[in-house]
């Protein structure tokens, strides 16, 4: 908005025409030209997501903003945090995938579903957080213990939306191994994970055991 005001002032100086200035102001108000860009805009342009840090608590306030002023918007179930998030909105705007840091070494991931046509309401797609379900699947598929649905380490990255599926990548330094780019897909309708065919080969080398140092007996002992 500051740049809009500057442009208008320059226009006044150059044109010295009230009619020209009025036309320029009308153009900026109608088109939004010069306004702050909307971050995390949905694919269809129906809504966008914004975050602000509250001055009294330091927590991050996450909001869904509708282009339609008469539309009620709700985001339910995202835990409070002082860290910002990253967002991935599905092409049909029915799903919202959110990732964010919980603490060093552990990243959270939550999947939300658009519940209603009349209300822009996004609610958690499952009672257990998405990152807990994903790491539990990793534990089942690889045999590596991570704590089941309550992992203490590991990060999940968004990869892509596929037709009816969400593809993500797991990484992190665990107690017994290092995970780097272990790919899985979540079937949105069936609510279950699988390893895509094109990721089978890469997943075999994505989990590497941590080499433990060998202690040799001292010759002075």
The predicted model scores a pTM of: 0.78
- The one-character DSSP state at 154 is B
CB 75 within 8 A of CB 63: yes
Give pLDDT, residue 19.
Answer: 44
Instruction: Provide the b/e sequence for 124-136 (b: ≥16 CB within 10 Å).
Output: bbeeebbbbbbbb
CA distance 121 to 105: 31
The sign one gets for the Cα dihedral 47, 51, 54, 59 is: positive
CA distance 29 to 10: 17
Q: Which residue has the higher pLDDT, 103 or 118?
A: 103
Lowest mean pLDDT among 67-71, 86-90, 170-174: 67-71
CA distance 218 to 221: 5
Q: Which residue has the higher pLDDT, 55 or 158?
A: 158
């Amino acid at each position: 908005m500051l740049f809009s005001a500057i442009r208008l002032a320059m226009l006044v100086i150059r044109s010295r025409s009230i009619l020209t200035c009025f036309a320029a102001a009308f153009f900026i108000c109608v088109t939004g030209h010069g306004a702050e860009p909307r971050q995390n805009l949905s694919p269809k342009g129906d809504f966008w997501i914004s975050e602000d840090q509250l001055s009294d608590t330091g927590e991050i306030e996450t909001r869904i903003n509708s282009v339609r002023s008469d539309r009620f918007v709700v985001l339910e179930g995202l835990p409070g945090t002082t860290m910002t998030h990253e967002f991935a909105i599905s092409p049909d705007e029915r799903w919202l995938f959110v990732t964010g840091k919980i603490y060093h070494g552990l990243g959270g991931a939550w999947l939300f579903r658009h519940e209603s046509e009349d209300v822009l309401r996004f609610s958690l797609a499952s009672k257990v957080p998405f990152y807990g379900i994903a790491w539990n699947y990793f534990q089942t598929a690889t045999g590596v213990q991570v704590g089941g649905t309550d992992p203490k380490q590991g990060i999940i990255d968004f990869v892509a939306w596929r037709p009816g599926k969400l593809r993500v990548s797991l990484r992190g330094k665990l107690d017994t191994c290092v995970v780097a780019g272990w790919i899985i897909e979540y079937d949105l309708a069936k609510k279950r994970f699988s390893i895509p065919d094109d990721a089978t080969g890469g997943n075999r080398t994505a989990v590497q055991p941590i080499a433990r140092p060998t202690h040799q007996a001292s010759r002075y002992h």
